[in-house]
A and B are shown apart, each in its own frame.
Chain A
């Protein structure tokens, strides 16, 4: 049964407890950053920041709108990273989310460029290419032991909930209708995007305002590369090898005939 994390932006106070809990449970070092005049910190995801809160003031909000959004792996069903991973290090867990076996990661970094949400990060040497990918792992170890992911466990306001995905979808839809009844332009994000994300968002504005991609998709070039080009490669090499074998048999038979004729 697929699990999901439900993030309700209307209940989030941006305390960033989830950010800290993520680092604490996953043993991720803190980052030294500079004050850029916002509470948002660190500035971006990194190999040791798998989850961060975004503080957004949409340009048309007249300075009165302050949105908080969760930025981490979305655990897509149609996952670009899983599609391009050559070693199977990034894979779909039986509970639906995108798990990651760091031991068998080859460090190619294809997942980074195949991700529609710009989530995976690489750590290692650019010169040698000895690298590993890092991203949110849905606290697979906790989940396997029937514990909530660390970010959900620590959330003090109930903005993060964890459970069966179907139940989370129901809950989110109820919440959206209630907010709509209160006059909020609320919507659910992640129910159908990329065949269903395993992180669902209840939003009080458009996804664009939360800097979430509207209609995210795995790039067509990923499909061209993985589904067409690879098959073409096997076909081309196979056809050439077959042609050469045929040539060998015909040419050989011909030469034997010539010899016999002499």
Chain B
């Protein structure tokens, strides 16, 4: 049983994830040139802005391409991250005990994405919309909108960054560093997780995908 693995992320989903990852890192770094005074000199002569804008186009194009090529999957994702229930509240209440102390007794069973992943996806989804709308205004409408409005649009752009950068740290930590999240990074690189990990961390999801397939695995999925 130890060798059995299930597919968690398709090749397309992984390509999308890492495209957005690299793009977001480039956008964050080139954006920080204008934020941190010590990096200011790196923004001289606008080259970092050109890179920022090329990356911005990719950040807009990638989700659009995903949506066009896999509309069902994309819609499912959007619907999923906006659907919140009782289990999510329970998860949020129980999460500190689990992530600090490893106490998993109170963790409700989780679906394809756990509540934390849903929360992160929601923040990423909404902040990208915030970035794109405010960024497009800063790019194309700077000369035609009142100065005061431009200042507010810039503030929104920066606010999106504060929220999404903070959450990116959490995402990076839980995905790749937290000592109990043993297969999270692997799943996004290779697409698969072990059956044990799937049952343990995404019980509801595992029950769904294994319905009718694995008759030898009748035991109830354990928590989270």
Contacts and interface: CB of A to CB of B under 8 A. Distances in A.
Interface of A: 86-88, 103-110, 112-115, 118, 122, 124, 126, 128-131, 219, 221-222, 224-225, 229-230, 232-233, 236-237, 240-241, 244, 247-248, 250-252, 254-255, 258
A103 B45 CA distance: 7
A250 B162 CA distance: 26
A251 B49 contact: no
B160 to A, nearest CB: 11
Nearest to B152: A221
Given A118-B147, A224-B155, A254-B102, A106 B35 contact: no
Interface stretch (B85-93, B119-127, B136-144, B189-197): B136-144
Given A225-B155, A248-B177, A106 B45 contact: yes
B101 interface: yes
Most buried by A among B33, B151, B152, B165: B151
Contact of B35 (A126, A232, A233, A240): A233
A222 B151 contact: yes
A255 B101 CA distance: 8
Contact of A106 (B40, B53, B152, B166): B40
Contacts of A126: 139-140, 142-143
Contacts of A222: 151
A56 to B, nearest CB: 22
Given A113-B151, A229-B162, A247-B100, 18 more contacts: A86-B40, A87-B41, A106-B46, A109-B142, A113-B148, A115-B147, A130-B45, A221-B151, A225-B154, A232-B162, A236-B162, A236-B166, A237-B162, A237-B165, A241-B169, A247-B173, A248-B179, A255-B180
Given A237-B166, A252-B179, A229 B45 contact: no
28 contacts: A86-B35, A87-B40, A88-B40, A105-B45, A106-B43, A106-B48, A108-B34, A110-B154, A113-B151, A113-B154, A118-B147, A126-B143, A129-B52, A129-B139, A130-B45, A130-B49, A219-B151, A229-B159, A230-B35, A237-B165, A237-B169, A241-B169, A247-B100, A247-B173, A248-B178, A250-B101, A254-B101, A258-B102
Interface centre among B41, B46, B158 (most CB of A within 10 A): B46
B44 interface: yes
Interface residues of B, number: 45
Interface of B: 33-35, 37, 40-41, 43-50, 52-53, 99-102, 139-140, 142-143, 147-148, 150-152, 154-155, 158-159, 161-163, 165-166, 169-170, 173, 177-180
